Amino acid sequence: MIVYRITGNKYAKDISGSAAATFGGRWNKKGTPVLYTGESKEIALLEIIVHTPPMLAPNLDILTLEIPDDSITVIEKNQLPPNWIDYPAPTILSEIAERWVSAQKTIALKVPSCIIRSAHNYILNCRHPEYNKVKIIAHKEFHFDSRLTK
């Protein structure tokens, strides 16, 4: 399976999940290394836009990653509480993902995007014993059109 990650070019080669572990997020608690990716370049871009301060056009890179098709756990919207789309995210989401990380059954957790609810993100468990199967198959500069932050 191919997934995408858009991130600051300074950190693009780091797929260890250290940034997510430092800050925590919708699908992970502080201290848990995961890598946030999207099923398409477009959803990966929207995820960056919602986390980019207005008027800032960062230097970005896009990674194309390959993850094993047989190592994905799927969470459907109907398995989530009604407030799963709220910001800030309800803590139940990080608790769900923490149980998934601890179980170490799969490398990826497929979750619905709260930005475009028909799209999906893939959260990668950087602690999974087979995480080394995640491969960067392309790494390119990403042109960020500054009009997107207006």
Which residue segments constitute the domains of the chain, with CATH numbers given? 2-149 (3.90.175)
Average pLDDT over residues 129-143: 97
pLDDT at 73 over 80: yes
Contacts of 75 (CB under 8 A, 6+ apart): 96, 109, 110, 111, 112
Torsion, Cα 45 87 36 63, to 10 degrees, reads 10
Rounded percentage of the chain residues whose pLDDT exceeds 90: 84
Report the 10 Å Cβ neighbour count for 75. 19
Q: Which residue has the tokens 């399976």?
A: 1
Question: What pLDDT, on a 0 to 100 scale, did the predictor assign at position 27?
Answer: 98
Question: What pLDDT, on a 0 to 100 scale, did the predictor assign at position 16?
Answer: 98
89 touches 72 (CB < 8 A): no
> pLDDT, tens digit, for every residue of 50-68?
887 765 667 899 999 999 9
Average pLDDT over residues 16-20: 96
pTM of the entire predicted model: 0.95
> pLDDT, tens digit, for every residue of 81-107?
999 999 999 999 999 999 999 999 999
CB-based burial, 62-72: b 16+ in 10 Å, e otherwise: bbbbebeeebe
